[in-house]
Structure 1
Amino acid sequence: MLSTGALRAHLLAARLAGPVATTREESLRSYRLFAARDPRVTLGLDPESAWGERDLIALMADRCGVSADPGQVSGPDVIDPERTLGGLDAFAGRLGEVAARRGVVMFGTGHPHRLLGFYAALADALSAVGCEVLTPAQGRCVDITTRFGVRTYNLEYVRGVALVRERGARGAGSVTGVHTHSPLPVRAALEGVVEGGGPLPELVVGDHGWVCGAGQLGIEAIGLADTDDPALFVGEAEGRVSVAVPLDDAVRSDYYRPLTRYVLNRACLSQ
């Protein structure tokens, strides 16, 4: 069993928390764009309140531990490891509750190169205790606006976790898909559930648009978020995201393995 102290040390050593790779400049830019309701950073969330840049700095200081000083405009951003640990405990709690009632879940990620293994291990554990892990709309085309224009991707699943990848991409080099913030993949997946006449998920687990897009539609959602992803924390503050765990979401994929063990143990899902 991984102790809280050992995980805290790992969070700091791997730069999942503490001073992280995300810069203050990147975070402030995201806060400005969110305040302007730019869809690239609202991630499918339609905020109920008017969130100005200073409001977002205050929120992120409270939820993540970043500096609350608007005058700090450069350097690495900082995530309080205690807030990460608290978020992981809450995250595990929601997984444990769904597992106890053999609920219906859906997993999806916009960070497949980094987080696929983390989510896949959780999907495997929930499936093993009798939860239904949904994989609807396999192969469906999703048109997503990128900085290169509108690109068409396919919605696919790897070990029960949804991701999008280039049309026609196959093989080991493409198995982890592409990075996206869009809420369109979760909308396509949920449309597939409705069309198939199956049950909607009781819980969506993921990041970026998967969490905000599901939460906006009234489906419980939990996920991971970096300091430049204010939408998940706004969603949590407004009651449409159940849990947003603050951490760096783009470190090496193997650095998330201790988090997997910790969450599975806390959720009573360790095998």
Structure 2
Amino acid sequence: MLSTRSFRAHLLDARLAGAVATTREASLRSYRLFAARDPRVLIGIDPEQSWDVRDLIGLMADRCGVSADPAYTSGHDVIDPELTLTALEAFAERLAEVAQRRAPVLFGTGHPHRLLGFYAELADALSAAGCEVLTPAQGRCVDITTRFGLRTHNLDYVRGVALVRVLDAERPGCEPGAHTHSPLPVRTALAAAAEAGGPLPELVVGDHGWVCGAGQLGFEAIGLADTDDPALFVGEAEGVVSVVVPVDDAVRSDYYRPLTRYVLNRACLSQ
């Protein structure tokens, strides 16, 4: 079993926490866009209160450990590993509760190149525990606005984890899927599940729009988020999202394997 001390060291060594690759400039740009309620950064959240940049810096300092100084405008952002560990405990607790009830779950990621393996291992463990891992709207088309304009994507599932692929842009099996922040895929999946008469997920696990979109619709949602993803932390602060784990979401995929082992151990779901 991976000890907390060893895992904390891994978080820092892999730059999942500590000084991360995400820059302060990128985070501040996201905070400004969120304050202006830009849909590209809201990613499915409809905030109840007004959040200005100073409010967001304070929130992200509290939830992630970034600098609370508005005058700090360049360099690398920082994630406090203690905040990551605390959030992972709550994340694992939610998984354990769902496993005990053998409740249906939905997994989805907008970061398939990095995080597909992490979610797939969790999906395998919950399936082994008796949970139904849902795959609604398989193959359904979703039109998502990207920096290249409106692009049609297909909703797909790999090892029980939802993702989207740009239509005709990838040869099957060549890429794990497209990077997206959009909440449209989870809205499509949940609508399809409802139209089919269920079951509906008791828990949605993922990142980006998968968490925000599901949470805004009233589903319990938990996930991972980087320092330039304020929407998830605002959702958590306003009670729309249950748990957000602050972590760099774009390091090498194999660096998340200890994260998987740590969560499954804490949730008593290790095989």
TM-score, structure 2 normalization: 0.99
Return the alpha-carbon distance in structure 1 between the equivalents of residues 60 and 86 of structure 2: 15
Return the alpha-carbon distance in structure 2 between the equivalents of residues 134 and 8 of structure 1: 32
Aligned to 2:2: 2
Return the alpha-carbon distance in structure 1 between the equivalents of residues 269 and 30 of structure 2: 36
Q: Which amino acid aligns with 1:172?
A: G
Q: Which amino acid aligns with 1:257?
A: R
Aligned to 1:92: 92
Return the alpha-carbon distance in structure 1 between the equivalents of residues 107 and 64 of structure 2: 23
Shift in Å, 1:200: 1.0
Aligned to 2:50: 50
Aligned to 1:185: 185
Return the alpha-carbon distance in structure 2 between the equivalents of residues 167 and 30 of structure 1: 28
Aligned to 1:22: 22
Q: State the identity as a percent.
A: 80
- Can you list the C-alpha shifts for 1:105-134, whole angstroms capped at 9, x where unaligned? 000000000000000000000000100110
| SS, match of residue 205 in structure 1 | strand
Q: Which amino acid aligns with 2:108?
A: G
- Can you list the C-alpha shifts for 1:68-119, whole angstroms capped at 9, x where unaligned? 0000000000000000011111100000000001011000000000000000
- Can you list the C-alpha shifts for 1:209-239, whole angstroms capped at 9, x where unaligned? 0000000000000000000000000000000
Query: Does 2:54 correspond to 1:71?
Result: no
Query: Does 2:131 correspond to 1:131?
Result: yes
Return the alpha-carbon distance in structure 2 between the equivalents of residues 102 and 263 of structure 1: 18
Query: Does 2:207 correspond to 1:203?
Result: no
Shift in Å, 1:22: 0.2
Aligned to 2:221: 221
Within 5 Å, give how 1:103-252 maps onto structure 2: 103-168=103-168, 169-174=170-175, 176-252=176-252
Return the alpha-carbon distance in structure 2 between the equivalents of residues 233 and 123 of structure 1: 24
Return the alpha-carbon distance in structure 2 between the equivalents of residues 3 and 34 of structure 1: 37
| SS, match of residue 173 in structure 1 | coil
Shift in Å, 1:172: 2.8
Return the alpha-carbon distance in structure 2 between the equivalents of residues 115 and 205 of structure 1: 12
Return the alpha-carbon distance in structure 2 between the equivalents of residues 32 and 220 of structure 1: 27
Shift in Å, 1:171: 2.9
Shift in Å, 1:170: 3.4
Aligned to 2:60: 60
Return the alpha-carbon distance in structure 2 between the equivalents of residues 162 and 190 of structure 1: 12
Number of residues of Structure 1 aligned to a counterpart in Structure 2? 270
Return the alpha-carbon distance in structure 1 between the equivalents of residues 216 and 204 of structure 2: 12
Q: Which amino acid aligns with 1:254?
A: D
Alignment RMSD:
0.6
Aligned to 1:101: 101
Return the alpha-carbon distance in structure 2 between the equivalents of residues 90 and 122 of structure 1: 15
Return the alpha-carbon distance in structure 2 between the equivalents of residues 170 and 90 of structure 1: 39
Q: Which amino acid aligns with 2:172?
A: G
Query: 5+ residue gaps in structure 1?
Result: none
Query: 5+ residue gaps in structure 2?
Result: none
| SS, match of residue 54 in structure 2 | helix
Return the alpha-carbon distance in structure 2 between the equivalents of residues 257 and 179 of structure 1: 20
| SS, match of residue 132 in structure 1 | coil
Moved over 6 A (4+): none
